[in-house]
Structure 1
Amino acid sequence: MANDDSDLLMISGLKHFQFCRRRWALVHIEQLWEENVLTLEGHYMHERVHDDSFTEARGAVLLSRGMPVRSQRLKITGVCDMVELYKDEDGVPIQGRSGRWRLYPVEYKLGQPDVQGADALQLCAQAMCLEEMFVTDIPEAALYYGKIKRRQRIMLTDELRQKVKDSVAEMHQLMIKGYTPKAKMGKACKNCSLEEICQPRLTKQVSASEYNRRAFHEEDGQ
């Protein structure tokens, strides 16, 4: 019997969620999205990395790009930018390859290291999916930042893993309720691609879809 993916949340949503819970809800619950320069540049970078049919061998290392991952325990799914596979006697078997391999996920980001920890949260969720899929342990992974052109090692600690679990659980609860959190004005709002849709300066809270519906009817009545 095929797995039902209807209740799986996108791993990429963890970054939105950490950045702003309302932003996550606007994208993933209300299905609203607006592009800006930053998001377009980010998409371009990921397009250069992703190729789900491509595995490159560099000596004893395999580079698997655009690997789909999922976790039935956490009910999340997504795509790893890159999974590096190193020959290791303590690793796991990989279909179509001889020997055993150790998995090392790498996530590519456009800008500079993230002080809020959203990138590490997303990366840890990917690793937790890989651990479940391959029945293995992944203690470490990496983030590559285009702005500084180097990697940042991320230790996948128990604390980080628990934060992933807690965040995903809260996301599922909001999704089930269909609830969009209230806006909280902050410095990051000016760079958010959803600022016009979100309307964080509104004191009276309504859903973005309801706000847009009212605005449409007001214009239609003129």
Structure 2
Amino acid sequence: MSGGGEQWVALSALQHLLYCERQAALIHVEQLWREDVNTASGRLLHERVDLPGHDARPGRRVERAVRLGSERLRISGRADLVEYHPDAASPTGWRPFPVEVKRARRKAAEADRVQLCAQALCLEEMHGVEVPEGALYFGAQHRRQAVSFDVTLRTRTEETIARMHALLAQHRVPLVPRAPKCEACSLEPLCLPHVTAGQRRVADYLKQLVEHVG
């Protein structure tokens, strides 16, 4: 989905950006990808819900692999599941409830919440109705975690979208310090953090030197 020749951000890019700015650029600027055991298991889990379709369940209607987009934010992507709950206060009689499927519960879930909130912002624009909450579903534990789309999360989500737009506009892969999370990244062999970390230190030194001379 695109409009006016402007760059749009993929919903999945938000999670990549919050994990690592360099990872986000490698994937969404350089179009690089490498699968490992963790990404493969996550892909297989998503394949179970990624086939478009719908079904009716008691008190709700469920749509799978729902295409989403927001002209205002210039973001687009797909929701794993969107439940439509009956709501007399909604103009359509239904209120969307996005559900994002994850392989396993993680310690830091901010990126998951931001990605889910971005889906809600798309649904609000598409349906003209407020979407106050959604849920993360962790496949390994077969458990749901409710997520409230409060002002703080909405602000954080829009800030992250703006950051991703800026990263795409620069059209370059930034240098970032090496961190413990690099070991768990499937792109580590392509990113070469042990090499680029040194480049980052040199770049910072040269920048400081220029500022000092100026």
Superposition TM-score tier, normalisation by shorter sequence: 0.7 to 0.9
Report the 3-state secondary structure (helix = DSSP H, G, I; strand = E; otherwise coil) of the residue aligned with 2:163. Answer: helix
Report the 3-state secondary structure (helix = DSSP H, G, I; strand = E; otherwise coil) of the residue aligned with 1:201. Answer: helix
Aligned position for 1:27: 27
TM-score norm. by structure 2 comes to 0.88
Cα deviation digits, residues 77-134 of structure 1 (max 9, x gap) = 01010001111111242xxxxxx11111100000114524110010000000000110
Could you list the structure 1 runs, at least 4 aligned residues long, displaced by more than 2 angstroms after superposition: 2-6
Aligned position for 1:74: 73
Distance in 2, matches of 1:43 and 1:190, equals: 20
Report the 3-state secondary structure (helix = DSSP H, G, I; strand = E; otherwise coil) of the residue aligned with 1:23. Answer: helix
Q: Which residues of structure 1 form unaligned runs of 5+?
A: 94-99, 206-222
Query: In the TM superposition, what is the alpha-carbon distance from 1:3 to its structure 2 partner?
Result: 4.3
Aligned position for 2:194: 201
Q: Classify 1:103/1:114 alpha carbon distance in 2 versus 1 (closer, same or farther; 3 Å).
A: farther
Distance in 2, matches of 1:127 and 1:136, equals: 10
Asked whether 1:44 is paired with 2:29, we answer no
The count of corresponding residues between Structure 1 and Structure 2 is 197
TM-score norm. by structure 1 comes to 0.85
Does structure 2 retain, via aligned residues, the 8 Å contact 1:113–1:145? no
**Aligned counterparts, 1:200-219, within 5 A:** 200-202=193-195, 203-205=198-200
Cα deviation digits, residues 36-61 of structure 1 (max 9, x gap) = 11111111111101222x11001331
Distance in 2, matches of 1:6 and 1:49, equals: 30
Amino acid at match of 2:55: E
Does structure 2 retain, via aligned residues, the 8 Å contact 1:183–1:198? no
Amino acid at match of 1:88: D
Distance in 2, matches of 1:30 and 1:61, equals: 41
Distance in 2, matches of 1:16 and 1:37, equals: 17
Aligned position for 1:149: 142
Distance in 2, matches of 1:131 and 1:114, equals: 29
Cα deviation digits, residues 154-174 of structure 1 (max 9, x gap) = 010111111111111111111
More helix by share: 2
Distance in 2, matches of 1:116 and 1:101, equals: 28
Aligned position for 1:96: none
Query: In the TM superposition, what is the alpha-carbon distance from 1:6 to its structure 2 partner?
Result: 5.5
Query: In the TM superposition, what is the alpha-carbon distance from 1:184 to its structure 2 partner?
Result: 2.0
Distance in 2, matches of 1:134 and 1:113, equals: 31
Report the 3-state secondary structure (helix = DSSP H, G, I; strand = E; otherwise coil) of the residue aligned with 1:204. Answer: helix
Distance in 2, matches of 1:116 and 1:152, equals: 11
Identity, % of aligned pairs?
38
